[in-house]
Amino acid sequence: MFLAELQREEKTAFLELAVLIASIDGNLSIFETSILNKYQKELGLEDYKPTGMDLRDILESFKSERTKNIVLTELFQLIYSDGVFHDQESKFVRLIKEHFGFETDEFGSFKGWIDKIKELSLTKEKW
């Protein structure tokens, strides 16, 4: 939704991060695969193959507050795509939020917000 605002380096870093988080539980669901494909298309990186960038390098790519918010928003959409927030995903998100300097409870209501976005997306697709 907001990924077009990212710079080229941020786009590839975001894809690396999304692949990491989608596969963190050892199971890449059909929902996660679908969202990863959507991300690649939205970013204009359909042919991009993840290189296995180091997490610290990935996170250092995002400098502005807005970019960090975009990354976290999009990641929550990916995480909740299969309807389950796994422990590994929770730990990973906590690590990202700490690195970005967000307060622990700052994004506590994201699940509800992401659910509303998903509803709007489904409604839009039916039109």
> Taking 80 as the threshold, does the pLDDT of residue 59 lie above it?
yes
Residue 92 in contact with residue 75, Cβ under 8 Å? no
pLDDT score of 41 more than 90 = yes
Token digits for 78? Answer: 């990916």
**What percent of the chain is predicted at pLDDT more than 70?**
81
Q: How many domains is the chain partitioned into structurally?
A: 1
Tell me which residue range forms the domain holding 84.
Answer: 3-126
Residues 3 and 94: their CA atoms lie apart, in Å, by 21
Q: Please report the sign of the dihedral spanned by the C-alpha atoms of residue 73, residue 58, residue 93, residue 68.
A: negative
Residue 28 · residue 81 · CB < 8 Å = no
pLDDT score of 118: 60
Query: What value does the mean pLDDT take over residues 29-50?
Result: 92
